[in-house]
Chains A and B, each alone.
Chain A
Amino acid sequence: MEEEKRIGVYVCWCGTNIAKMVDVVDVAKEIGKLPNVVIAKDYKYMCSDPGQELIIKDIKEHNLDRVVVSACSPRIHELTFRKALQNAGLNPYMFEMANIREQVSWVHTDRGEATRKAKSLVAAAVNRITWHESLDKRTVDINPATMIIGGGIAGISAALEIGNSGRKIFLIEKENKLGGHLAGVDLTFPYMYSADQILKPLIKQVTNNPNIEVFLNTQIDEVFGYVGNFETKITPGDGKEVELKFGNVIVASGLKPYDPGGIENYGYGKLPNVITSLEFEQMLKKGKIVTKEGAEPKNVAIIHCVGSRNKDYHEYCSRICCMTALKFSNQLRSALPDTNIFECYADIRSFGKGCEEFYAQTSRKDIMFLMFDQKNDLPRIRKAETMDECDMLIEFNELLSGEDIEVPADMVVLMVALEAQENARDIAHAVGVSMCGNEFYIERHPKLDPVATTTDGVYVVGGCQSPKDIPDSISQARAAAARILATINIGQVEVEVTTAVVNEDICCGCQTCVNVCPYTAISFDEEKGVSVVNEVLCKGCGTCGSTCPTGAIRSRHFTDKQILSQIEGLMSTSIELQEV
């Protein structure tokens, strides 16, 4: 560590985003005085091409060997600047970012305080980078096969997209047939296409596509490996174990309907004629709409948002129930022309293509739309007295007229919410995907990267990422397929290199670290009597590094020395500056 380091520090204005709250010129000047800092500049837009050229030029001119950029979050532009270093012939890991936008200028109000904080963060980065070592990127080959979990419409579309392009697909479905929820649907909104006409040909194409191997009645328990080199063992229905090797995973595990039994207002399970939307779809598929007693209902009520948009059940909107409800009304009106149809709704959400027209057209079919308060006054269904000549009465305060009304109903269709599958958590652990509060899978970026996940090579599509309708699910499935075909086409992919490494001169073989690793990347070498890290499996979390009592495991790019010096840098300036 004795040879002299030449660090270049760049403080970004980010237009006014940073400069408005942080005195970037002063920061650059102050940091310039730190040891090993050869140049310290401020610049309008570091991430712009001229900004990056500035870095490349300076590296060459002042033969810098380390670069610190203090600007936005490393989660946004760390890769951009690492590429710039690479172009300048410098190892991309000789780079550190200080986040003075999202975590300083945008969140503080006192300019002096923000500038002081920025200085301590940049000083910390400078301290840290003195201990950085160059690390070489590892590239691995891609196994062109792909595993798809879930045989619903999303899974099938992705399978066909990749299968038809000549690549191998393993399609895993936990039920005994493909099709998922779409198989239980009669017609689809808003153009009333038949679900079977959509699904049956696709399933036929899947079954006789040679590249697609379907495994029914199969669940995933554990997937090992990393992008390009995954493997897993599955036991399909007939019991013998099958070993699968593949390069990418598409999770299309879909959703499960909410069990409305949990809402006692609706009396599902107690009142026979209160049915869910799926049960109603079955009736529509059979073509006969009759109550449990076999009679044609004179009054049918459809209740929206059952289990959705309410703190006690699910706060999110399940997106597809409004249009499905309108589809039901249309089908009811054509099947039973003089039945009274009541749509009890909170808000009609008809955002899709052709849906608003569908809603306008439906409302002219003499269907009574009644608005209830979804948050605090859910409708209550109770058995009607004999003199009411209907089976049930639904009471609630109708918001549009302000009246407390009783809606007569011989049949009530509950538009049940969509929620995560029971085994959502197991699949998440199997493929290493994180989940949000509602147990939907978290995408890499909600806006810029909705189908990929933070785990390379694992994609989430369709309902399992959040409730969505058929066109969205299919487009997500096709998007993931396209991304995978692109990586297969390249044939190789860069892999995380900030992994852990054991210093065998110090490791005493106490094996405390072996079971700490969630990816079983650490094993004990009997002859040498030391632990060894399989860099291929290691994902760089660093937990083993901080567990090792001997300090023999070094987490590359997050070593003890780097972080300890970062702490020193963080505290050094803030104390002196406070006294000044």
Chain B
Amino acid sequence: MSYEPTIVAFLCNWCSYTGADLAGTSRMKYASNVRIIRVMCSGRVDPTFVLSAFKEGADGVLICGCHPGDCHYHEGNYKCLRRYHLLQKYFQQMGLDKDRLRLEWISASEGRQFAELVDSYTETVKNLGPCKMKQVIETLT
């Protein structure tokens, strides 16, 4: 079976999760590598979740939030953006390609954009190859 990446996606309830639902109701087709977790706001996504996803064997983590200015809670997405940049720098130091973590803005009406994002990000992660993090952790202990 050729390598199929597994991607954990954190979607904010008001914008990107609704956008993903819209992609569903419009019967758009996209890659099935993404597993979606609903959070109330992208600001809720704690770096611990991202690290834990990689520890559990995820090959990529996708965080989607509302476009700046559209956040249902006004500023949650900005907080997420700040953490995203720091996390990416930390990833590079830990030998993880910074593309393994991706933050994108998806609004409630952007079903198509979500479907295309999933396909393109799956491709990106596939090109990066499987993430060795889980395997390293297991051989360590």
Contacts and interface: CB of A to CB of B under 8 A. Distances in A.
Q: Is any CB of A less than 8 Å from a CB of B in the complex? A: yes
Given A124-B35, A567-B53, A541 B41 contact: yes
Given A103-B24, A107-B23, A563 B37 contact: yes
A547 B48 CA distance: 11
B79 interface: yes
B46 A560 contact: yes
Given A442-B108, A516-B79, A558-B39, A571 B8 contact: yes
Contact of A572 (B25, B56, B73): B56
Interface residues of A, number: 55
Nearest to B71: A434
B70 A435 contact: yes
Interface in B70-90: 70-76, 79, 83
B115 interface: yes
Contact of A435 (B45, B48, B69): B69
A113 B33 CA distance: 9
A387 B108 CA distance: 56
A540 interface: yes
Contacts of A101: 24
Given A75-B18, A102-B20, A435-B69, A541 B8 contact: no
Given A567-B53, A571-B58, A518 B46 contact: no
Contacts of A563: 37, 39, 46, 49
A108 interface: yes
Contacts of A425: 69
B24 A564 contact: no
Interface in A549-580: 555, 558, 560, 563-564, 566-568, 570-572, 574-575, 578
Interface string B32-70: 100111111101111111001100111000000010011
B73 A539 contact: yes
Interface stretch (A114-122, A230-238, A249-257, A371-379): A114-122
Contacts of A121: 35-36
B70 A108 contact: no
Which applies to chain A's interface (DSSP): helix, strand, loop or mixed?
helix
Nearest to A544: B43
Interface string A259-300: 000000000000000000000000000000000000000000
Contacts of B128: none
Contacts of B76: 518, 541, 543
Given A73-B21, A106-B27, A109-B29, A560 B74 contact: no
A110 B74 contact: no
Contacts of B35: 117, 120-121, 124, 570-571, 574
B56 A124 contact: no
Given A540-B40, A567-B56, A578 B29 contact: no
B32 A104 contact: yes
22 contacts: A103-B20, A103-B21, A103-B36, A107-B28, A434-B66, A434-B71, A435-B70, A454-B72, A455-B72, A516-B79, A543-B75, A546-B43, A546-B44, A546-B79, A546-B83, A547-B79, A558-B39, A564-B48, A567-B37, A568-B52, A575-B6, A578-B4
Q: 5 smallest A-B Cβ distances: which pairs?
A: A102-B24, A543-B43, A542-B44, A571-B56, A546-B46
Interface of B: 1, 4, 6, 8, 13-15, 17-18, 20-21, 23-25, 27-30, 32, 35-41, 43-49, 52-53, 56-58, 66, 69-76, 79, 83, 107-109, 115
